[in-house]
Amino acid sequence: MLDAIKVNLEKITLERANQGLSAHELSLKAGLSKNVVSNVERGYVKPRLHTIGKIVNALGKRLEDFIEK
């Protein structure tokens, strides 16, 4: 069940920072608006798995790297 998947959004933010990317740069790589990336990172919205997938792919990572165990 997809609703049971918990993605660690803080790890996504940390990975973005470690790669030296701004939220705007990540949004361009992911094909999303800067507001979407910022709102996801801040936890203001509950993103769809597809949106999270775009973000982690843009970071060159796998979704599994950000799923809480």
- Name the token pair of 66: 């950000």
Mean pLDDT of the chain, nearest integer: 91
* 13 against 2, higher pLDDT: 13
Query: pLDDT-based confidence at 18, cuts 50/70/90?
Result: very high
Confidence (pLDDT) at 24: 96
Residue range 39-54: mean pLDDT, rounded: 92
Is the pLDDT confidence value at 32 over 90? yes
Q: Do residues 49 and 59 lie in contact, with contact meaning Cβ atoms separated by under 8 Å? A: no
Whole-model pTM over 0.85: yes
**The pair of three-digit structure tokens given for residue 48, joined into one six-digit string:** 């769809």
Q: What are phi and psi of 23, to 5 degrees?
A: -60, -35
pLDDT at residue 4, as a whole number: 67
Return d(Cα 29, Cα 21) in angstroms, integer.
Answer: 10
| 34 vs 8: CA distance, rounded Å | 19
